[in-house]
Amino acid sequence: EIASVSPAAAQRVAGAYAKWGKGVHPAALNFGDCFAYETAKTHDCPLLYIGGDFAQTDIASVL
C-alpha cells in the first residue's frame, strides 16, 4: 500500500528524526527509516525489520 504524506505527517517524520535520528540517538534512524516509523506509529502497527535500529525505539517488531 502506498501511504500519502500530509504536511502533519511530514512534521511527525521530522520529529521522529529529531528523537531517533543519526547523531542524536543510538538507534541512528535515517530519514527514510523515520517515514516507516511514523507510518507504524500512525497506524498503530508493528514493523518487520532487520538489525537493531528499530529495536531501540518504541516500535514493536512483527517477530
Instruction: Show pLDDT as tens, one digit a residue, over the chain (63 residues).
Output: 787 889 999 999 999 999 999 999 999 999 999 999 999 999 999 999 999 999 999 999 999
The domain containing residue 51 runs over which residues? 7-56
Q: Is residue 40 part of a domain?
A: yes
Q: Is residue 26 part of a domain?
A: yes
- C-alpha cell recorded at residue 63: 517477530
In this structure, the number of other CB atoms found within 10 A of the CB of residue 47 comes to 17
Q: Which amino acid is at 36?
A: A
Q: Is residue 24 part of a domain?
A: yes
Number of domains forming the structure of the chain: 1
* pTM for the model: 0.86
Q: Is residue 32 part of a domain?
A: yes
- C-alpha cell recorded at residue 48: 518487520
Q: Is residue 35 part of a domain?
A: yes
